[in-house]
Amino acid sequence: MNRSDLQRISEKRLKEAKILLDAGEHVGAYYLAGYAVECALKACIAKKFREHEFPDKAFVNSVYSHDLHELLNHAGLGNDPEIAPKSKLWDRWSIVKRWKETTRYEEPQQKRQTSYTLQ
């Protein structure tokens, strides 16, 4: 899988999340939107890898993660002023960063309010 694949998958998951949100399926929308963010961050990380360069094993292992906050840092966006406290994106990021791959097991009422932020 390469950067282009990750970008394409991210866009696809986001479209699917919007369809679910429009259908009132908030938990499913939140779950897929989280994967869209994960793939987008991994696409940013993939840009760091260079052809013919042997990557650091610890770094490679650390990016095989579903932790969005960790991936944000690996992508080099952890100190981005657009995501800093009191920024326009901060409120949304503070919700998104709580996403986990286990969200799929949560009950619908738990994520209803959160899902509205996808719009």
Residues 47-76: tens digit of each pLDDT:
988 887 888 899 888 899 999 989 998 998
Domain layout of the chain by residue ranges: 3-118
Span 15-35, pLDDT tens digits: 999 999 999 998 899 999 999
The candidate with the shortest Cα–Cα distance to 103, out of 34, 36, 42, is: 34
The pTM for the full model equals 0.80
Sign of CA dihedral 23, 28, 31, 36: negative
What is the distance between the alpha carbons of residues 31 and 20, in angstroms, rounded to a whole number? 10
Span 77-94, pLDDT tens digits: 888 777 777 777 777 887
What is the distance between the alpha carbons of residues 119 and 46, in angstroms, rounded to a whole number? 27
What is the distance between the alpha carbons of residues 64 and 54, in angstroms, rounded to a whole number? 17
